[in-house]
């Protein structure tokens, strides 16, 4: 990567609305916007989904696109075990995590 370093971190998946599925990608002085199609990771069965995000400075819809790109990885939908189904909704949501690579 031409001397550049990659950074990664784990982050709980915050939701924009308490009862919705839409992720909250607001960040300090701007926001992360998804770009392109989701890409499956793993073959023959996808174990994760990769999503590209671009940082926009400011507030939507008038944000200014920057050259910062981040890749989000999250587990693909898998059959949940009986034990996982028994978890309460609040504790189950606490287990939702994404990994981000810069």
Burial of 41 (0-12, 13-18, 19+ CB in 10 A): middle
Q: What is the pTM of this model?
A: 0.65
Residue, of 68 and 17, whose pLDDT is higher: 68
Nearest C-alpha neighbor of 41 from the set 86, 98, 95, 79: 98
Question: Domain spans of the chain?
Answer: 6-76+91-99
Q: What is the pLDDT of residue 53?
A: 92
Contact (CB, 8 A) for 34 and 9: no
CATH code that applies to domain 6-76+91-99: 2.170.150.80
Greater confidence (35 vs 97) lies with 35
- pLDDT digits 0-9 by tens, 58-101: 998 999 999 999 888 888 875 544 444 444 444 444 445 666 66
4, pLDDT greater than 90: no
Across the chain, the runs of DSSP E, i.e. the strands, are 8-12, 26-27, 30-41, 48-57, 64-75, 97-101
């Amino acid at each position: 990567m031409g001397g550049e370093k990659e950074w990664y971190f784990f982050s709980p998946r915050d939701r924009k609305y308490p009862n919705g599925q839409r992720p909250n990608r607001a960040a300090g002085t701007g926001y992360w916007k998804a770009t392109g199609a989701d890409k499956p990771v793993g073959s023959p069965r996808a174990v994760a989904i990769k999503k590209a995000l671009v940082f926009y400075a400011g507030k939507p819809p008038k944000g200014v696109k920057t050259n910062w790109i981040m890749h989000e990885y999250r587990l693909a939908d898998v059959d949940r075990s009986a034990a996982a189904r028994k978890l309460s909704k609040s504790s189950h949501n606490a287990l939702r995590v994404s990994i981000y690579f810069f």
